């Protein structure tokens, strides 16, 4: 099977979603070369790096998307026809504690990448497609009792420094298209889960703390709702979007799998301890500042464009995720 693009520059590809994307891409297509530009920060496991190093037609360049000389050199030497930008600071709690690094990486880093496309002296580079990997959090939230869904025309109303930085980057990409004719794709996805996700995130925290029989912190009353998607389904959808030739548009990626944080924790705990009481493991903690109530995505535009139903098999996928963490407790050691 042939992929539409031959030379793919991935940024942040050693991380959770990016590593699954690269793995799926190179295990599916034989005509693709991948350069992965990644700073390899705290959220990257050395085992992720080794896993990717074993793939064909792959090279890792350690560095930041904010490093203009490195980005220029990478673009010049590799001449990518597709850039997929996963590189981002992504943990909302960290953005509340220190917003500045989120602005630097998520906004200025994105601008550095797209500048190296539109202002290049190389005519081929000017044709490069830029795929911005974004989040549903740019739309803010809806009431937990609402039936409303985000769509591509929903107002941008970010609630946290993280979501504001991602919304800013999305706006930059769209404006670079209008002003400088940048060819782009933007995909805004729901909450991802699956193997290799860093333990600071909700589902790994629930699983790992449950396995260690430690307290599981749940913000506020636990009723906040997220729209969950399996990371491998997300990676497959990204590849399908790219291979379809869609461009100069934005698409929401979600599977209508809404779960409240407390119901999700109870569901996972029941899978791990089906015959034991587990309620004492749940510990309600002070709510996060600016905590969004509910995310829910309308994916009908993308499904219509791809002529394909997006996959959702939450029961199997959460069991597979639990099994992976049981078998890989030392992944970040």
Q: Give the DSSP per-residue string, 97-148.
A: H--HHHIIIIIIIHHHHHHHHHT-S-TTGGG-EEEEEEEGGGG--B-TT---
| Residue in 162, 184, 230, 295 annotated catalytic | 162
- Asked whether 128 and 71 are in contact (CB, 8 A), the reply is no
Neighbours of 36 (CB within 10 A): 27
- Spatial CA neighbour of 22 closest among 11, 70, 193, 247: 11
| 286 counts as catalytic | no
The strand pairing partners of 283, in sequence order, are: 217
| Residue in 23, 38, 89, 136 annotated catalytic | 136
Give me 27's structure tokens. 């295990």
Cα 300 from Cα 322, distance rounded (Å): 30
Q: Give the DSSP per-residue string, 219-257.
A: ETTS--EEEEEEHHHHHHHHHHHHHHT--SEEEEE----
| Residue in 23, 89, 137, 227 annotated catalytic | 137
Q: How far is CA 238 from CA 7, 185, 228, 259, 300, in A?
A: 16, 10, 16, 23, 15
**Helix (H, G, I), strand (E, B), or coil: what is residue 188?**
strand
- Asked whether 31 and 2 are in contact (CB, 8 A), the reply is yes
| 136 counts as catalytic | yes
| 42 counts as catalytic | no
**Active-site residues: which are they?**
136-137, 162
């Amino acid at each position: 099977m042939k992929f539409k693009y031959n030379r793919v520059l991935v940024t942040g590809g050693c991380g959770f979603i990016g590593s699954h994307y690269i793995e799926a891409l190179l295990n599916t297509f034989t005509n693709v070369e991948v350069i992965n530009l990644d700073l390899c920060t705290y959220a990257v496991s050395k085992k992720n790096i080794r896993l990717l190093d074993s793939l064909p037609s792959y090279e890792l360049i350690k560095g930041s998307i904010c490093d203009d000389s490195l980005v220029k050199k990478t673009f010049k030497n590799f001449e990518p026809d597709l850039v997929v930008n996963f590189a981002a600071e992504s943990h909302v709690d960290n953005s509340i504690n220190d917003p500045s690094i989120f602005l630097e990486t998520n906004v200025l880093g994105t601008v550095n990448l797209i500048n190296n496309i539109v202002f290049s002296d190389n005519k081929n580079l000017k044709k490069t497609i830029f795929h911005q990997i974004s989040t549903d959090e740019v739309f803010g939230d809806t009431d937990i009792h609402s039936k409303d869904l985000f769509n591509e025309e929903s107002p941008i109303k970010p609630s946290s420094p993280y979501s504001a930085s991602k919304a800013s980057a999305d706006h930059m990409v769209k404006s670079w298209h209008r002003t400088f004719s940048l060819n782009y794709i933007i995909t805004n996805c729901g909450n991802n889960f699956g193997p290799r996700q860093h333990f600071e995130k909700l589902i790994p925290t629930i699983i790992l703390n449950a396995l260690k029989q430690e307290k599981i912190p749940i913000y506020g009353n636990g009723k906040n709702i997220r729209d969950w998607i399996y990371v491998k389904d997300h990676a497959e959808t990204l590849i399908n979007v790219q291979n379809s030739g869609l461009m100069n548009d934005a698409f929401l990626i979600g599977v209508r799998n809404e779960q409240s944080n407390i119901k999700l924790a109870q569901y996972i705990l029941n899978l791990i301890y089906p015959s034991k009481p587990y309620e004492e493991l749940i510990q309600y903690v002070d709510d996060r500042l600016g905590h969004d109530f509910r995310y829910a995505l309308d994916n009908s535009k993308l499904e219509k464009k791809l002529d394909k139903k997006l996959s959702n098999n939450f029961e199997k996928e959460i069991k597979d995720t639990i099994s992976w963490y049981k078998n890989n407790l030392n992944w970040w050691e």
